[in-house]
Amino acid sequence: MGLLYELQKKYKTISIVGMAKNAGKTTALNYLIEEAMDEGVRLGITSIGRDGETQDLVTGTEKPQIYLEQDTIVTVPTQLYEMADAGLEILKKTRYSTPMGELLICRVADSGYVQIAGPPAAMDTKKVCAEMMSYGCELILIDGAIDRKAIASPETSDAIILSTGAVLSRSMRRVVDETAHIVNLYSIPEMEEGNARTLIEENNYDDRIMLISEDGKVTKLDLATGLGSSRFIDDEIDEGTEYVYIPGAFTNSVIADINPKKLKRIKFILKNPTKIFLSAMDWGLWRKKGMKVNVLKNIEIAAITVNPWSPGGYSFDREALVGAMREALPELPVVDVRV
């Protein structure tokens, strides 16, 4: 049994997330679609953005097409419905509009190539997936065609498959290190249940920075963003401050001016790991200084797929890349989807 067999036992919805363009995300999607055909698993396929076109609309490079078997459930807007090579039966016209027309939920009546697309907003993807499930899908794969951060959000799917590869760097070591960094970030511990967490969840209706003290006092800061605001955050942290909740991006400029003694004493709380915009080096340096971070919801990574080839004209030895990735991330399945 292959990767898909193991995944469908644990998850109902999986997002496929690329570390960068040309990291092999669409190839990973096709790999799983082929496994589903072999094992008789009825898939649902949707996307954040658009995928399946023969040429990348941004880079101009050739892309693998997406071939769907009969009875697959797929979302396509009206313009792409008319362009499909496969025969598509419209099951439902949804209420979601896209730049390419009204979004349709379809059944593949005759196998063939399809350009897929989904709702423009990541937050609507979960609703679309629920509708697709009602048509008999056993597993839904969500193609992350626009933004790695948005599609990786834990609100979108049960887990993600992270696609990485040579396109990240000419150095295999750097490819492995950057991938391991993202896996480590996405696995940050969730904030423990208790009064402080409840206070954050109850008061986070306006996405403001909050300070939570040991005695349960909530202080909201009058800041539109945390970016460049570390001096103001530092001014508000007192002896009783236990948690600092940052609803938006977590960057160097959010923490740079916080007193080192305060930094060691408090704990930052984020919505989820996609809010972190720190390099592996910066993350390591801040952790050594005593920075502590928890999230309200972390991200489950189901597997890593690797692509040893780069459109830049260089490649890695596939066995060496897979071996190095497995050594760095022994707890996760690592698959070369180009084999």
180 in helix, strand or coil? helix
Predicted confidence at residue 57, as pLDDT, reads: 46
CATH (residue range 3-187+299-336): 3.40.50
pLDDT at 249 over 60: yes
- E strands present in the chain: 13-18, 43-48, 50-51, 67-68, 73-77, 87-98, 101-110, 112-113, 116-117, 139-144, 159-165, 210-213, 218-220, 241-246, 267-270, 293-295, 301-307, 334-336
Report yes or no: 93 and 104 within 8 Å, Cβ to Cβ.
yes
Residue 312, number of CB atoms within 10 A of its CB: 11
| Bridge partner residues of 301 (DSSP) | 160
Instruction: Kindly state the tokens that stand for 140.
Output: 């839904």
Mean pLDDT confidence for 92-120: 92
Mean pLDDT confidence for 279-290: 95
Amino acid at 292: K
Mean pLDDT confidence for 83-99: 93
Those residues with Cβ within 8 angstroms of residue 53's Cβ, 6 or more apart along the chain or in another chain: 63, 65, 115
Amino acid at 105: I
The tens digit of pLDDT for each residue in 286-332 reads 999 999 999 999 999 999 999 999 988 999 999 999 999 999 999 99
**What is the pLDDT confidence band of residue 21, given thresholds at 50, 70 and 90?**
confident
Report yes or no: 66 and 164 within 8 Å, Cβ to Cβ.
no
Cα 49 to Cα 117, 130, 219: the distances in Å are 5, 18, 38
Count the alpha carbons within 13 Å of 101 in the hemisphere toward its beta carbon. 13
The tens digit of pLDDT for each residue in 35-47 reads 998 888 999 999 8
Instruction: Kindly state the tokens that stand for 70.
Output: 């009969």
Report yes or no: 107 and 89 within 8 Å, Cβ to Cβ.
yes
pLDDT at 216 over 60: yes
| Domain boundaries, given as residue ranges, for the chain | 3-187+299-336, 195-295
Those residues with Cβ within 8 angstroms of residue 226's Cβ, 6 or more apart along the chain or in another chain: 209, 233, 246, 247, 248, 249, 250, 251, 253, 254
Cα 53 to Cα 31, 57, 58, 116: the distances in Å are 17, 8, 12, 9
